[in-house]
Amino acid sequence: MSAARYYINQLKPLYLMVCEYGRLNMFRFKVIPLIFVFGIIMTSGCMSNEEKKISYLESGNTYFDKEEYKSAELEFRNAIQIDPNFIDAYQRLGETYLKLGKPRESFKAFDTVIKLDPDNTDAQLKLATFYLLGKKIKKSREKVDAVLKKEPDNIEALFLLAGIQELNKTLNEASSTLRK
């Protein structure tokens, strides 16, 4: 047997061991992340839809508080996707759209809140403000009157009413409203 052949035979087990270790490392780097992802999927699959939507809402609120409005928007939309009648998510989505400078989307979100909960004074006032800014005084007045019927001392509604009265050129009424 030649010297070269002898060294090849001696190094072959070492070579196979190194190759096997390489395969194990490849296995570890490919399979372990897959196991981790599978675990997350299985864990999230155990959550009820109610828990998921609340989780998305809380996460969205956290992003909103950190002024990460794009991420907050995504979380609120995920909550709405789970429950299309989730009023709190629509409310927060409307506020998020305002921060993102998307007034049309914000209007739609607040309008949806009103359709789902006609007694929601905050959404009524937001829509009244949109209507007032759009010079749709009659619609704005309807929203403000609906709020004042329930809460006669609502300051925001009184300010909006004074603004409507000012646009209608009824300055005496506007000043008496502001005195309230």
174 DSSP assignment: H
pLDDT digits (tens, 9 = 90+) for 139-148: 999 999 999 9
Taking 60 as the threshold, does the pLDDT of residue 66 lie above it? yes
Does residue 59 sit in the same domain as residue 93? yes
* 57: Cβ contacts below 8 Å, ≥ 6 apart: 75, 76, 79, 86, 88, 89, 92
Q: How many CB atoms lie within 10 A of CB 175?
A: 12
Q: pLDDT (tens digit, 9 = 90+) per residue, 90-144?
A: 999 999 999 999 999 999 999 999 999 999 999 999 999 999 998 899 999 999 9
Q: How high is the pLDDT of residue 174?
A: 47
Q: How many angstroms separate the CA atoms of 34 and 47, rounded?
A: 20
- Do 180 and 130 share a structural domain? yes
Residues 1 and 53 in one domain: no
Residue 135 maps to which CATH number? Answer: 1.25.40
Total domains, the chain: 3
Asked whether the beta carbons of 144 and 128 are under 8 A apart, the reply is yes
Q: Which of 60, 94, 113 is the last residue of a domain?
A: 113
CATH number, domain with residue 65? 1.25.40.10
Query: Is residue 42 located within the same domain as residue 66?
Result: no
Same domain, 53 and 109: yes
pTM for this model (two decimals): 0.69
Whether residue 109 is found in the same domain as residue 140? no
Q: Cα-flanking dihedrals φ and ψ of residue 117, to 5°?
A: -145, 85
Do residues 96 and 73 lie in contact, with contact meaning Cβ atoms separated by under 8 Å? yes
Shared domain check, 36 and 5: yes
- In angstroms, what is the C-alpha Rg of the chain? 31
- Residue 165 confidence (pLDDT): 81
Per-residue pLDDT tens over the stretch 4-33: 455 455 555 555 555 555 554 554 555 455
pLDDT band of 39, cuts 50, 70, 90: low
Confidence of residue 164 (pLDDT cuts 50, 70, 90): confident
Residue 17: domain span: 1-46
Asked if 40 and 59 sit in the same domain, the reply is no
Q: Is 52 found in the same domain as 42?
A: no
Secondary structure, 3-state, 11-68? HHHHHHHHHHHHHHHHHHHHHHHHHHHHHHHHHHHCCCHHHHHHHHHHHHHHHHHCCC
Residues 41 and 53 in one domain: no
Q: Could you tell me if 76 and 24 lie in one domain?
A: no
Per-residue pLDDT band for 158 (boundaries 50, 70, 90) equals confident
Of the residues 91, 113, 135, which one is the last residue of a structural domain? 113
Dihedral-angle region of residue 161 (phi above 0 means left; psi in -120 to 50 means alpha; beta otherwise): alpha
Q: Do 150 and 125 belong to one domain?
A: yes
